[in-house]
């Protein structure tokens, strides 16, 4: 059982994101995703372009007190984070103003949502959406991503959520969520995707494709 947040484990503190941490969190996730997330790398997103996306989507997540962070105790550095939100939260305004490099990523995820079994209506206060999971490369290999997922699920359960949803973009994150009890209910293919006849994600076909995953949550005492 995951301890109540905040808690310390193996030199790392896991806690609910404080609004004051948002700038550092935005910068960390932007650099992490632009350099290691397969779809972002495939379309050539820069850290600055991804930072604009994170800055746009993070505001409601920070105020909902569902996002969890990991901070290295020795250095005080933000080591990782998992953005989480009420699944009924509407998309933020301004997505159309992001780099056009995001267009094939959004389009592919739209194909994922259109697959059979994905048309369920989410309910406010019931469905938890885990959105962006990232760990600073300097802190890789320490199990931080797994503990962030577990902490976010425990936080959601404590706040009354009954179901957790996520979209995992690569085999590593799919494995992490699978270990946390998620099952795949739909998956798209990087190899098969075409945009204007171009195989945009051919360079990352070894990752299979993004997967929509789900698990039920067990009630926990608040």
Model confidence pLDDT, tens digit, residues 162-194: 999 999 999 999 999 999 999 999 999 999 999
pTM (2 d.p.): 0.94
Integer Cα distance of 205 and 118 in angstroms? 23
List the one residue out of 72, 69, 66 whose CA is nearest residue 130.
Answer: 66
Integer Cα distance of 77 and 183 in angstroms? 32
Integer Cα distance of 202 and 103 in angstroms? 16
Exposure of 171 in the CB half-sphere (CA atoms within 13 A): 6
Length of the chain: 222
Distances in Å between the alpha carbon of 216 and those of 70, 86, 127, 168? 24, 15, 9, 17
Q: Which helix (H) or strand (E) holds 127?
A: strand 127-135
Q: What is residue 2's predicted lDDT score, i.e. its pLDDT? A: 85
Q: Is the pLDDT of residue 145 over 70?
A: yes
Structural domains present in the chain: 7-89+99-216 (3.40.630.30)
């Amino acid at each position: 059982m995951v301890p109540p947040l905040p808690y310390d484990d193996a030199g790392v503190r896991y806690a609910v994101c404080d609004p004051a941490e948002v700038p550092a969190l935005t910068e960390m996730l932007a650099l992490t995703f632009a350099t290691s997330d397969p779809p972002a790398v495939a379309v050539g997103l820069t850290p600055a372009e991804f930072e604009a996306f994170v800055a746009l989507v993070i505001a409601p997540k920070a105020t909902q007190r569902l996002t969890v962070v990991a901070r290295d105790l020795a250095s005080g550095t933000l080591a990782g984070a998992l953005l989480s939100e009420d699944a009924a939260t509407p998309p933020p305004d301004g997505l159309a103003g992001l780099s056009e490099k995001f267009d094939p990523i959004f389009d592919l995820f739209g194909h994922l949502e259109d697959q059979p079994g994905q048309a369920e209506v989410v309910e406010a206060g019931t469905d938890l959406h885990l959105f962006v999971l990232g760990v600073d490369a300097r802190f890789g290999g320490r199990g931080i991503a797994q503990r962030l997922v577990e902490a976010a699920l425990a936080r959601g359960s404590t706040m009354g959520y009954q179901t957790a949803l996520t979209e995992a973009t690569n085999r590593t994150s799919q494995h992490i969520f699978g270990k946390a009890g998620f099952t795949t209910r739909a998956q798209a293919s990087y190899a098969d995707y075409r945009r204007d006849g171009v195989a945009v994600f051919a360079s990352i076909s070894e990752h299979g494709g993004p997967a929509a995953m789900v698990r039920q949550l067990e009630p926990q005492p608040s």
